[in-house]
Amino acid sequence: MATRYDELVRRVFVGFSRTDGEALLTVKQAINDAHTALAQVQDFDDLVVWDKTSAATVDGQARYHLTSDLALTRPKDIYSIILHDDSNSRKLTYVPPRELDKLLPYPESIGEQRPNWYTRFGNYLEFIAIPDAAYTLYIRHSQWPVALSNDSDETPFSNLDSTIVFLSKDIANAYLHGEYFDFATKALEYLKISVRDEKVQPDQDLIARPFEATGVGAMGEYWKLPFVKQTP
C-alpha cells in the first residue's frame, strides 16, 4: 500500500520550524512540487502505462493532440506506438521533427495510407502517411504524477518516501524564506546519481555503428538514423 498524502504531510512537519496555517499550505504544495520534480528527471516504472483502449486515428487526419484527441492521461514521454490492424499490425517508427521537415516538408504529397512513422510537436503527434482509416493505437507512455489533494490520496511512487519528504522540506523552506533553487537539480541529488536508473524514450534512441579498423583507418558512425537515407 502506497503512502497517503496526510502521512507525507506529517513526516515533512517532523522537525519543521513552523506549524501554522501558512506552513501547512506551503508543505502541501511542496509535496506536489517534489513529485513533479522527480518525474522531470526520471521516468519511474510506477508512471509508465500501456494504453490500449483510448487512442485511435481518424480517416484523413494527420495531427492529434495527446489528451484532447488521443485521450492519454497526463502524458509525458511517448515510448512506443503500435498501430493495431488485425493481422497487419505494425510498430510505428519515430522521426525527429527536424528530419521530417527536411525530407518531407509536405506529408500530404504521399496521400493517405496506413502510417509507418510518427513525430511529436509539443503535445501533438503527427502520423506519416496520413491515416486512410480509423486504426486503434496502442501507446506506451510515461505520465506526470497526479496532484495530491485529499488526505487519503496516495503517492504514485514506490519506495521513495524519504526522498519525497526531504525534497519537500527543502522546497517548503525555500518558499517560506523567499529562496530559490532548481527543484529538478535537487531531486537528482536525492536520487543519488550513482544508483539512479536513467531512462530515455526508446523510440528516439539513435543506432550506433561500431568503429572498425580498415585499410585506410578507422571507419564508423557515432550514430545512425535509419529514417534518413545516407548517400554512399
Per-position pLDDT tens, the chain of length 232: 789 999 999 999 999 988 899 999 999 999 999 999 999 998 888 899 998 888 999 999 999 999 999 999 999 999 999 998 877 888 998 888 888 777 777 777 788 889 989 999 899 999 988 999 999 999 999 999 999 999 999 999 988 999 999 999 999 999 999 988 899 999 988 887 434 555 555 565 555 555 555 454 545 554 555 555 544 4
Identify whether 127 is part of a domain.
yes
Q: 170 and 112, same structural domain?
A: no
What is the pTM (predicted TM-score) of this model? 0.76
- Confirm whether 231 is domain-assigned: no
In a domain, 166, yes or no: yes
Same domain, yes or no, for 101 and 171? no
Q: Examine the domain organization and report whether 91 and 172 are in the same domain.
A: no
- Are both 67 and 122 inside the same structural domain? yes
Asked if omega into 129 is within 30° of 0 (cis), the reply is yes
User: How far is residue 155's CA from residue 209's CA, in Å, rounded to a whole number?
Assistant: 42
Give the structural domain span for 33.
Answer: 5-44+157-195
What domain count does the chain have? 2
> Could you tell me if 72 and 130 lie in one domain?
yes
Cell numbers linked to 31? 509535496
Inside any domain, residue 204: no
Q: What angle do CA 84, 116, 55 make, to 5 degrees?
A: 40
- Boundary-marking domain end, from 142, 165, 181: 142
Residue 113 located in a structural domain: yes
